[in-house]
Structure 1
Amino acid sequence: MPRLAVPLTEAQIRALEPRAARYCVADGNGLVIEVMTTGTKVWRFRYSLDGKRQPLATIGDYRMISLRVARAKAQKYAEMVARGISPVATARRDRGAESKADVLREAAELYLATEMAGKSEEYRRTTRRALEKDVLPAIGHMPVKAVTAADIVAICDRIKSRGSPKMALHTRNVVKRLYEYLIARQLAAGNPAEVVPARSIATFDSRTRVLSGDEIGAMFRSIDASSIRRPLKLALHLLVLTMVRKSDLVESTWAEFDLDKALWTIPAARLKKDRDQRVPLSLQAVSMLRELHETRASRNFVFPSVRGDDRPIAKSTLNQAVKALGLDVEHFVLHDFRRTATAHLREMTAHAEATDRGAEEVPERLRQSTNAEKAADQRRIMQRWADFVDAQIKDTRSA
């Protein structure tokens, strides 16, 4: 009988590193994973017949076979061995059959175990929740190639009937990314979610789009955990903390900042206005700017182009960075940061002027502060907003 072993987890398997010589780690019931010197990991089945240890039977590549599928195969082969039958011929015939993830539930598990392994905890959690709550109960039993656009629409309609159109759209996008993964690995021929228009599920007026506290936290956790360049991460944080226009930030120069006084003065000429705009900086913003200053690659621009010439990054750079992250924040554009800030400030501030006037007027009020009292009030509001953003990020991380 195979020796008992402590069952492995996906995290433990991902952490296995190659050595000078290949080695095996047991999962139990004869199932082992062999780690090659190249780093490739292969599922194998260890067994004995007539009291003699037999050569390992190959199950398949870990990248294409989930832990659950490998265990199912090992159980199948163990039952054959118990009847005195060698599983080698059977393993050779059906090798890769289950790894092709013909059933959507197995395909989803393979996707979560491999493609999602390098994503942030929050991203993995929301993806798994969408699959397990609504997708797999409805179509998890179906062959991957049998799922149609009508199946996806039915799932989304059920979610919308609960009063959650945004979740319906999020779920459609999860299925779309799952099928993109399967198509890339030749496990599916078409993407049933791709032909379902997003606007047929949920629509949002971009002129009134305001991110919730949870969305703010989830977004910046994903940004922090991403592989985009550090200066771009800081730029996105500063964009929400300072509440300025994107072009004002990406074209900023070091001469405009007085970090000791925590003040950013945007020249009237650059704004094409009659007067300068003074932006008080929160403690968080100052910290980020000091980091950028210490590692600056340009004497003039805070966010210089990586091409080496002395000019700022393109205005589209931050949009492209956000798009590349694949964030699950529906119908969001960077300009929504300003509207989001003013909307939340209306709720947070205790000053009557901030609560009585429209949300879009708050930044204008801040910009028009002229005397010492209003300047101090402006600085308190900016710090309150930065603290609020920090709180949302911390709440998401502890979820």
Structure 2
Amino acid sequence: MPRLATPLTESQIRALEPRATRYCVADGNGLVIEVMTTGTKVWRFRYTLDGKRQPLATIGDYRMISLRVARAKAQKYAALVAQGVSPVATARRDRGAESKADVLREAAELYLATAMAGKSDEYRRTTRRALEKDVLPTIGNKPIGAVTADDIVTICEQIKSRGSPKMALHTRNVIKRLYAYLIARQLASSNPAAVVPARSIATFDTRTRVLSGAEIGVMLHTIDTSNIRRPLKLALHLLVLTMVRKSDLVESTWAEFDLDSALWTIPAARLNTRADLLVYLPRQAVAMLRELHRARASQNFVFPSVRGDDRPIAKSTLNQAVKALGLEVEHFVLHDFRRTASTHLHGLSPQSEIGNDTAHDEVQDEAKRHRQQLQGWADFVDIQIEAARQTWSEEV
């Protein structure tokens, strides 16, 4: 029985390097990718007809055809072979129908048809809208390599003139992702949107700044894949999930937590309030705190100073960690995590009063409601992180 090929991934294909002679790597079901000595990668279809192995049928250049599309074509050709028909003529017609992405409009269509596969309907809709409404009418007919940073600025200024600075920034980010995709496919050599600072496009009042779901995902994924210390990564994630103030978290002690009950009681004395603050912990937060507890360097503080003395990290430590990452999410401060969580939580539970400020004597059903709401928020955050992770793996 012939050995079945292990299906390839986009990242594996991008990593294939040229050799002294060209070679093929199988994806399965007749689909192979041939790596030329120049580094060019070409999809081919391997098949047998009338009991004889036939020359490979060419599907097309990898830069122009994604793995998903190549598999679909191979499946179509395999159906022809099963009927006793050679797929060569059909493959030739298909190659003729493939647009060569010389100008940005054609490149954008390739991007939408391939990179957007598997994305949510909303993600695809907002990406297509940005391209079709503002980008392509302005620079769609320009060669890919002729688009400049000035073109991006002009487009963003036009959008801002309509009173939509957030949409201008979103559009710049769409162009940036488009060019990252084209660079990965060797269809572009530079990214004109990458040199346009986000802060030059849109500024936000930090008193009202609310991160979008996508921004939450990008931020936390960037934090998680960075080289900052693991406890700081967890602290930043916990700020998002628990909706507490930064000082409440960095000064927390292990005595305040009952992880078995998924409850954090912040003493009134530490808060300078009349009553303790009960923070109900979603399962993701409990898992992070258990990890911190297993690796704890202090018997007292959850986030101890690395200096070895028995005190918590400085309040500025988390700010400095985020600043060092150079995140694309501009004009935000860590307090925006609280505002962002509260805003999104209202959207997830529009008919409820949202908050963590719950007195000890609050009835059990109220506590249950709060737990459900915060667990829903934590699950929502996980979805945003996974979306950012998938986007990063496909575009980098």
State the TM-score, normalized to the length of structure 1. 0.55
CA deviation vs aligned residue, 1:143-177 (integer Å, no higher than 9, x gap): 01222345334433554466533122111122134
1:292, CA displacement in angstroms? 3.2
Q: Which residue of 2 aligns with 1:386?
A: 374
1:256, CA displacement in angstroms? 3.0
Q: Which residue of 1 aligns with 2:9?
A: 14
Residue 266 of structure 2 aligns to which amino acid in structure 1? T
CA distance in 2, matches of 1:392, 1:177: 23
Compared CA separation, residues 334 and 154, structure 1 to 2 (3 A): same
CA distance in 2, matches of 1:35, 1:142: 31
Asked if residue 264 in structure 1 is aligned to residue 262 in structure 2, the reply is no
The secondary structure found in structure 1 opposite 2:32 is: strand
> For the aligned residues, what is the CA RMSD?
6.0
- Given that 1:217 and 1:393 are in contact with CA atoms closer than 8 Å, whether structure 2 keeps it comes out as no
The one of the two structures with greater contact order (alpha-carbon pairs below 8 A, sep at least 6) is 2
1:387, CA displacement in angstroms? 5.2
- Given that 1:35 and 1:42 are in contact with CA atoms closer than 8 Å, whether structure 2 keeps it comes out as yes
Compared CA separation, residues 111 and 391, structure 1 to 2 (3 A): same
CA distance in 1, matches of 2:32, 2:307: 45
| Unmatched 5+ stretches in structure 1 | 1-11, 83-90, 92-96, 355-361
CA distance in 2, matches of 1:177, 1:338: 28
Compared CA separation, residues 190 and 238, structure 1 to 2 (3 A): closer
Q: Which residue of 1 aligns with 2:26?
A: 23
CA distance in 2, matches of 1:234, 1:334: 14
| One of 207, 213, 219 as aligned partner of 2:216 | 219
Q: Which residue of 2 aligns with 1:148?
A: 148
CA deviation vs aligned residue, 1:70-125 (integer Å, no higher than 9, x gap): 89xx9xxx78999xxxxxxxx9xxxxx95xx54224544666788888x9758963
The secondary structure found in structure 2 opposite 1:168 is: helix
Residue 32 of structure 2 aligns to which amino acid in structure 1? I
Q: Which residue of 2 aligns with 1:298?
A: 296
Q: Which residue of 2 aligns with 1:209?
A: 209
CA distance in 1, matches of 2:343, 2:57: 62
Q: Which residue of 2 aligns with 1:281?
A: 279
Q: Which residue of 1 aligns with 2:130?
A: 130
Compared CA separation, residues 266 and 131, structure 1 to 2 (3 A): farther
CA distance in 2, matches of 1:175, 1:44: 27
1:205, CA displacement in angstroms? 0.9
CA deviation vs aligned residue, 1:8-42 (integer Å, no higher than 9, x gap): xxxx8637989xx9436578xxxx53378xxx994
1:298, CA displacement in angstroms? 1.6
| Unmatched 5+ stretches in structure 2 | 1-6, 14-23, 75-87, 388-396
1:284, CA displacement in angstroms? 1.2
CA distance in 1, matches of 2:11, 2:236: 35
CA distance in 1, matches of 2:341, 2:25: 55
Q: Which residue of 2 aligns with 1:8?
A: none
- Given that 1:236 and 1:318 are in contact with CA atoms closer than 8 Å, whether structure 2 keeps it comes out as no
CA deviation vs aligned residue, 1:197-228 (integer Å, no higher than 9, x gap): 545543311122134xxx24772598479963
CA distance in 2, matches of 1:142, 1:121: 29
CA distance in 2, matches of 1:149, 1:165: 18
Residue 155 of structure 1 aligns to which amino acid in structure 2? I
CA distance in 1, matches of 2:46, 2:112: 30
Compared CA separation, residues 168 and 14, structure 1 to 2 (3 A): same
Compared CA separation, residues 293 and 305, structure 1 to 2 (3 A): farther
- Given that 2:199 and 2:331 are in contact with CA atoms closer than 8 Å, whether structure 1 keeps it comes out as no
CA distance in 2, matches of 1:81, 1:373: 72
1:260, CA displacement in angstroms? 4.8
Q: Which residue of 1 aligns with 2:170?
A: 170
State the TM-score, normalized to the length of structure 2. 0.56
Residue 374 of structure 2 aligns to which amino acid in structure 1? A
- Given that 2:25 and 2:32 are in contact with CA atoms closer than 8 Å, whether structure 1 keeps it comes out as no
The secondary structure found in structure 2 opposite 1:263 is: strand
Q: Which residue of 2 aligns with 1:319?
A: 322
Aligned length: 334
